[in-house]
């Protein structure tokens, strides 16, 4: 893979983990109703991160486009998680923000 994507890959894998951890934890919360948007976006974000990790490592000709999509999904997931006080939401939001920024730096 192109080494200019190394930081992005690292953050993408971290973000994948935090999004899925948040997805799992949200489903166990008492007020699942309140977490519905979070659950939906955690899955969206984990899935695009997994897709991006594959694209980056196989040297896909579409890597930049995938990273741009990934950054956009990360931002939306962060917005949803930032509305909650749960530790898993805060961690997820921070990871999403950092991932979005690192993806955009890699593409720039």
Residues that bind a copy of itself (CB under 8 A): 1, 9, 13, 16-17, 20-21, 23-24, 27-28, 30-33, 35-36, 39-41, 43-44, 46-48, 50-51, 53-54, 57-62, 65-66, 69, 72-73, 76
Any idea what DSSP says for residue 86? Answer: -
Q: Using CA atoms, how far apart are residues 67 and 70, in angstroms rounded to an integer?
A: 5
- Smaller CB distance to a copy of itself: residue 28 or 85? 28
- Smaller CB distance to a copy of itself: residue 18 or 97? 18
CA 51 from chain centre, in angstroms, equals: 11
As measured in angstroms, the least distance from the Cβ of 76 to a copy of itself is 7
- Smaller CB distance to a copy of itself: residue 62 or 85? 62
As measured in angstroms, the least distance from the Cβ of 36 to a copy of itself is 5
Q: What are phi and psi of 27, to 5 degrees?
A: -70, -15
As measured in angstroms, the least distance from the Cβ of 86 to a copy of itself is 15
CA 100 from chain centre, in angstroms, equals: 8
* DSSP per-residue string spanning 91-106: HHHHHHHHHHHHHHHH
Angstrom CA distances, 20 to 15, 16, 58, stand at 8, 6, 23
As measured in angstroms, the least distance from the Cβ of 85 to a copy of itself is 18
């Amino acid at each position: 893979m192109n080494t200019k994507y190394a930081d992005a890959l690292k953050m993408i894998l971290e973000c994948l983990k935090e999004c899925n951890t948040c997805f799992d934890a949200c489903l166990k919360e008492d007020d699942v109703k309140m977490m519905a948007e979070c659950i939906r976006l955690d899955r969206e974000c984990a899935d695009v991160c997994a897709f991006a990790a594959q694209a980056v490592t196989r040297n896909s000709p579409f890597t930049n486009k995938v990273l741009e999509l990934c950054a956009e999904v990360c931002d939306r997931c962060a917005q949803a998680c930032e509305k909650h006080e749960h530790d898993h939401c805060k961690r997820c939001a921070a990871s999403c923000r950092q991932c979005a920024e690192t993806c955009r730096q890699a593409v720039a």
